[in-house]
Amino acid sequence: MSAERARYDYDLFCIGAGSGGVRASRVCANYGAHVAIAEHGRFGGTCVNVGCIPKKLLSYAAHWRDDFSIAASFGWSVGEPSFDWPTLLANKDREIARLNGVYERLLLDAGVAIFRARARLRDAHTVEVGGKTITARHILVATGSWPRVPAIPGSPLGITSNEAFHLEELPRSALVVGGGYVALEFASIFHGLGVATTLAHRGERLLRGFDGELCERLAGEMAGKGVKIRLRANPARIDPGVQVAFEDGSTARYELVLFATGRKPNTANLGLEDAGVTLAADGAVLVDRYSRSSVDSVWAIGDVTNRVNLTPVATAEATWLAKTLFHDEPTPVDHDNVPTTVFANPNLATVGLSEEKARERFGAVDIYRTHFRALRDSLSASEEKTFMKLVVDAASQRVLGAHMIGRDAGEIIQGIAIAVKLGATKPQFDATIGIHPTAAEEFVTMRSKASG
Ligand code: NDP
């Protein structure tokens, strides 16, 4: 490494200090590499600033509505609850500012040089940043992604999740466009905070690619709580006001339109093409299993590669890359059995294969499912149902997928994911003693195969 060091200013120059870039820079530096990072915005990227963290805080806030609604059944009288959006935003912003500082400190403590400016590739080993020209043995692109808005007339009248975290005041009514993670999460947040919320999705079913039964049940649960869900509905035009004309000819007025219609990789104006880096049609950096681009010294991880766009995947890709680059341990990415949660209300969490995918790949599968009213809701009028489903390979009895809708589904599926990742079988699930009384125990007590 020392001869190489003499040739270049740094062993690694990372562009972007989000989840992936910060993790990669730190771990590479800990392995002894001389590392620099460039970030023109706030430390922590999408997840910390306009994603996972503030979203989860808003989601916690929204859940109080349910808690207040069942409190009386446990003997509490809580009066008429009222909600103050500016207080929540101020507290949220304080926490985000703290996390920005934590991320910066993590980099400094690891000895990573920080450039607070936009960086751009000049060639395979050179970047320009803040008026300086820097060379590096390896360049890592970890620039993340940005919300994408459909090109319909009036779309600038709508907002994206970026702005939703900073609204001066909550609207009385909102249209959320899309049927993915962001749409479902924000529809639940808005509804929980008292906004009359409509979700319009162009497709037949929410959450493309997820287990179909799960998607249908989630739509039912969200509708049961009061979110108006319109499927096969898509805005064609937005007029000032904010009057929305849908493709089917219907119109409606909302105080706010939120586009949650996907994200695009941040690869514009980075000089990637000039350096010879091949991009996919959607702009993502094309990489191999080791996160290497078409240029040997340029690597990319996280959302900018548009593989599995989740924070813990980006940080895992960062760790694998650091091992490959500076620990003599070439480590390919492992995107199998990635657990994930949609923090809608109720939560939907899943690991492994959907029933549809499992049938496609394995042919015969056994399905186990349970659908029940949680003990927590049993004293109240709440109609909410918890749903769990196991997809099992009929031949080997291996559990291929575990799916849940219900309170804290993400917390529960995280543990189940270890078993699924280790290849646990249904008999091994059955041999596990449940914790009583919990909802989670149902995962080890489902005995009867569902018919069909
Ligand atoms: P998604 O890709 O999950 O969903 C986009 C949605 O918008 C889909 O329902 C899609 O419909 C719809 N859509 C796309 N283009 C249009 C269009 N032109 N007009 C109307 N509808 C359209 O994107 P999100 O923005 O929700 O989230 C981005 C990514 O961020 C996610 O994929 C996920 O990886 C990550 N994320 C993870 C979270 C978590 O872990 N909890 C939370 C939030 C985001 P269709 O299905 O028909 O294509």
Q: Is 225 in the pocket of ligand 1 (CB under 6 A)?
A: no
Question: Which of these, 178, 228, 172, lies nearest to 198 by C-alpha position?
Answer: 228
Tell me the pairing of strands 196-201 and 228-231. Answer: parallel
Tell me the pairing of strands 35-38 and 10-15. Answer: parallel
Phi/psi at 86 (5° precision): -60, -35
Sign for the pseudo-dihedral over CA of 88, 94, 98, 100: positive
User: What strands lie across the sheet with 399-405, from one edge to the other?
Assistant: 340-342, 348-352, 399-405, 386-393, 365-372
Q: Is 23 in the pocket of ligand 1 (CB under 6 A)?
A: no
Residue ranges per structural domain of the chain? 3-50+88-146+264-326, 155-261, 346-444
pLDDT at 294 (0 to 100): 98
The yes/no answer on whether domain 346-444 falls in CATH 3.30.390.30 is yes
Dihedral in degrees, nearest 10, Cα atoms 118, 263, 160, 251: 150
Q: Is 155 in the pocket of ligand 1 (CB under 6 A)?
A: no
Best of 188, 207, 261, 309 to mutate for ligand 1, by most ligand atoms within 8 A of CB? Answer: 261
The one-letter amino acid at 58 = L
Q: Which residue owns the Cα nearest ligand 1 atom 17?
A: 150
pLDDT digits (tens, 9 = 90+) for 110-135: 999 999 999 999 999 999 999 999 99
Tell me the pairing of strands 132-141 and 10-15. Answer: parallel
Q: Which residue owns the Cα nearest ligand 1 atom 24?
A: 262
Q: Which residue owns the Cα nearest ligand 1 atom 13?
A: 261
Other Cβ atoms closer than 10 A to 196: 16
Same fold yes or no, 3-50+88-146+264-326 and 346-444: no
3-state secondary structure 223-259: HHHCCEEEECCCEEEEECCCEEEECCCCEEECCEEEE
Q: Which residue has the tokens 């009066």?
A: 79
Buried b (16+ CB within 10 A) or exposed e, 75-105: eeeeeeeeeebeebbeebeeebeebbeebbe
Do the Cβ atoms of 291 and 299 come closer than 8 Å?
A: yes
Buried b (16+ CB within 10 A) or exposed e, 231-253: eebbbbebeeebebbbeeeeebe
Do the Cβ atoms of 345 and 225 come closer than 8 Å?
A: yes
Do the Cβ atoms of 308 and 20 come closer than 8 Å?
A: no
Q: Residue 323 corresponds to which tokens in the numbers above? A: 């091992």
DSSP 434: P
Looking at domain 3-50+88-146+264-326, its CATH architecture is 3-Layer(bba) Sandwich (3.50)
Question: Which of these, 179, 167, 174, lies nearest to 195 by C-alpha position?
Answer: 174
pLDDT digits (tens, 9 = 90+) for 385-426: 999 999 999 999 999 999 999 999 999 999 999 999 999 999
The stretch 62-72 carries a mean pLDDT of 95
pLDDT at 452 (0 to 100): 54
At the topology level of CATH, where does 155-261 sit?
FAD/NAD(P)-binding domain (3.50.50)
Q: Is 342 in the pocket of ligand 1 (CB under 6 A)?
A: yes
Question: Atom of ligand 1 at shortest distance to CA of 234?
Answer: 20
pLDDT at 242 (0 to 100): 87
Q: For residues 409 and 386, what is the distance between their CA atoms, to the nearest angstrom?
A: 9
Do the Cβ atoms of 352 and 389 come closer than 8 Å?
A: no
Contacts of 300 (CB under 8 A, 6+ apart): 140, 141, 142, 285, 287, 291, 293
17 pLDDT higher than 90 = yes
Q: How far is the CA of 102 from the centre of ligand 1 (A)?
A: 29
Phi/psi at 197 (5° precision): -115, 130
pLDDT-derived band at 241, boundaries 50, 70, 90: confident
pLDDT at 263 (0 to 100): 98
308 pLDDT higher than 70 = yes
pLDDT at 2 (0 to 100): 56
Q: How far is the CA of 84 from the centre of ligand 1 (A)?
A: 29
Other Cβ atoms closer than 10 A to 17: 31
Q: Which residue owns the Cα nearest ligand 1 atom 30?
A: 309
The catalytic residue positions are 436
6 pLDDT higher than 80 = no
Give the mean pLDDT of the chain: 97
Q: Is 19 in the pocket of ligand 1 (CB under 6 A)?
A: no
% the chain with pLDDT above 70: 98
The stretch 297-315 carries a mean pLDDT of 98
Tell me the pairing of strands 119-123 and 126-129. Answer: antiparallel
Question: Atom of ligand 1 at shortest distance to CA of 182?
Answer: 26
Q: Is 407 in the pocket of ligand 1 (CB under 6 A)?
A: no
Q: Is 178 in the pocket of ligand 1 (CB under 6 A)?
A: yes
Enter the pTM of the model.
0.97
Q: For residues 443 and 434, what is the distance between their CA atoms, to the nearest angstrom?
A: 8
pLDDT at 3 (0 to 100): 59
pLDDT digits (tens, 9 = 90+) for 424-452: 999 999 999 999 999 999 999 999 999 65
